[in-house]
Structure 1
Amino acid sequence: MRFLVDECTGPAVACWLRNQAHQVFSVYEEARGMSDDDVLQKALDENWILITNDRDFGEKIYREGHQHRGIIFLRLEDERAAKKIETLRRLLESYAERLPNQFVVVTENRVRFAQI
């Protein structure tokens, strides 16, 4: 799969995804300081699923009506890299085929495919 990992989500997540044979664009590693609007546009134009823990993207999708190719919003109490990776591992094992073009909210205990 193709994932665009937001700057706040971090390079450890990007590295883990690469090690799982996914294509990855890491904002932290390749375009630090990129605006949220530019991140969304790049993901849309280049067919990336965005992985973020930044709540602003929900606002941009739901209130501002931005299009997307898929967003995984990590809403975790523990935002350490190891917890993000473990959460993504479980998500990909169970729901990988459902991720494109969906807004998915993921907590430590729940996966919710949000209605747009």
Structure 2
Amino acid sequence: MIIADENIPLPIIETLVKNKIEMISIFDNYRGISDLEIIKLAQNPPKIILTEDKDFGDLVFAYNQNQVSVILLRYHYSELEKIISILLKFLLNHTIKNYSFVVITTKSIRIRKI
């Protein structure tokens, strides 16, 4: 299951829902909660945080919030359609092992075990 952070654009959320990817939208369900609260929400049962917020990298690696998996999207807004396509293909074709930090750009996908 995916937890879409508040900063995830609606076209991404709509595409995931349309493709039957199970998800929770922070914007729709938990608006205003902190990043630490999102991490706690993602831990039990395990869910993957989808975000554009680099602060999650700090929380995971510098502050030892490492019992979570994160997908960080890095792209320019003009590349939205391309990043949607890459993200969807990734989610449909990969299983993210627990406790991974994934960075998806329009040019690469990096997966780092936490």
TM-score by shorter chain over 0.5: yes
CA distance in 1, matches of 2:92, 2:36: 30
Counterpart mapping for 1:1-116 below 5 A:
2-78=1-77, 81-94=80-93, 96-98=94-96, 100-116=98-114
CA distance in 2, matches of 1:49, 1:7: 14
Distance 1:79 1:40, change over 3 A: farther
Identity percentage of aligned residues: 25
Structure 1 spans left out of the alignment, 5+ residues: none
**Per-residue deviation, 1:15:** 2.2
Instruction: Give the superposed CA RMSD.
Output: 2.0
Structure 2 spans left out of the alignment, 5+ residues: none
CA distance in 1, matches of 2:34, 2:28: 14
Under a length normalisation based on structure 1, what TM-score does the superposition of the two structures give?
0.84
Number of residues of Structure 1 aligned to a counterpart in Structure 2: 114
Flag the structure with higher helix content.
1
Confirm or deny: 8 A CA contact 1:3 1:49 kept in the other structure: yes
1:45 counterpart letter in structure 2? N
